[in-house]
Amino acid sequence: MKVHVKLLFFAVALVSCESQQELSQRSGERKAFEHEAFNPLDLDPTNPDGGIVEGRLERLTPEENLRRKQQNELQPIIWGDSVAGISMATTYDQARDILAEPVGSVRTTEFFPEGIRVNWLQSDPKIPSMIIIDSEYKGSLSLSAELDFVMGESALPTDQEPEAFMKRIGALLEGEDPATYDCLTVFTCRLEEGENFLTFDFAKGGMLWDNGDSSLQIMYFTSSRQLRPFLTTPFIYGQSVAGVSKTTTRAEAEDFLGPPLLDNNGFFFYDNFNFVVQWLETDLPGIIIAQDGFRGAFQLRADSQYSIGDSLRGLAPDDEVNPTGLAKALYRTLHNAAGSDCIANNECSVVDGEDVVEIQLPNGFFGVSKDGNLNLDYFGM
């Protein structure tokens, strides 16, 4: 079974190559094209009200749309609660009376010209599960007389280490004294150094600082959570991933994982949105996955382990350096079956995906890159 779950909303929201402005421009170009295509045909409806459904939302006039955008994008940011005139408790229908029209969407995420993106819960009440604020938003977040944040303009201080600065912010967000409160020790903050961003995660959201110019590029709000230390427990083939086995109950797992950060169609995200469990009705795991950013390793043998991103090329035989050869080599090692051909014996399989190739063994699976490096992209059981 091929399983590779990505948090599409978070990925799109944080690293989308299209800005709100670009989306707006494209939306305008699309409308203009449609207008030019239909104008010469003079297809004015004979019944303008035909097909109207009672209660259906009408499109805003350009003037009203612009008025809303300009008003909302200046609203102050209330940490973990509200931005652009909506809050984490605002329903989908209520937001339609407040925000300008969305300029694009990806699945359950809508992009708004105010400079925010909203992922909507699909259950009732339909409220935000997460709100992203990007660098184009003009309102500010004020935490104290000395700390006032403006998107795209505020930068990390040069006279203070990022961790110390994060702790200061974390204390203020919790209404505590920065001199005595340590958000790291009580799981209300966490620091992550990524390739593009330095991330301050807090109980109700996070701040992402550009690694280049140290500017504040993104904020996000989510439901309150505990920020446990990053998982480092390895994947032991056929037994467990990060300490979670197929016989571990949800209550037992969340005793050390903490509550999930997000529920995405039955897949529950933990750690840093990179440890995923599908919980069955029995409260036992159906699927367990560790993916990008997971800090635990894959324990191949007592003397060798591999982390996400490491190349598995060296495990494949010299005469078959490809996913099929790697699948055979992994099977022989993990099942103590020297010389066997699991492909020919239908004991393993290789499934070609869009970005990765998945190697499926009897008691686990591995996603590896499609290039010749065979980099480990994810693993699980």
How many Å from the N-terminal Cα to the C-terminal Cα in the chain?
A: 10
**pLDDT of amino acid 16:** 40
Tell me how long the chain is. 381
pLDDT tens, N- to C-terminus, the chain (381 residues): 333 333 333 444 443 433 444 433 333 332 332 323 323 333 344 444 444 344 445 689 999 999 999 999 999 999 999 999 999 999 999 999 999 999 999 988 999 999 999 999 988 999 999 999 999 999 999 999 889 999 999 999 999 999 999 999 999 999 999 999 999 988 899 898 878 899 999 999 999 999 999 999 999 999 888 777 789 999 999 999 999 999 999 999 999 998 888 787 789 999 878 899 999 999 999 999 999 889 899 988 777 889 999 999 999 888 889 999 999 999 999 999 999 999 999 999 999 988 899 999 999 999 999 888 999 999 999
Question: Across 203-331, where does the E strand assignment appear?
Answer: 205-210, 216-222, 235-236, 240-241, 262-264, 267-270, 275-279, 285-290, 297-301, 304-307
Look at the alpha carbons of 340, 247, 381, 308 in this order and tell me if their dihedral is positive or negative. Answer: negative
Task: Enter the pTM of the model.
Answer: 0.63
Both structure tokens of 74: 């200046």
| CA dist., res. 237 & res. 301, Å (int) | 10
What DSSP state is assigned to residue 245?
Answer: -
**pLDDT of amino acid 44:** 40
Q: Are 237 and 297 in contact (CB under 8 A)?
A: no
Q: Are 363 and 344 in contact (CB under 8 A)?
A: no
Q: In what order do the strands lie in the sheet with 297-301?
A: 240-241, 235-236, 297-301, 304-307
**pLDDT of amino acid 58:** 62
For residue 13, give Cα distances in angstroms to 8, 70, 84: 8, 22, 17
Which residues have CB under 8 Å from 103's CB, separation 6+? Answer: 20, 23, 24, 27, 111, 112, 113
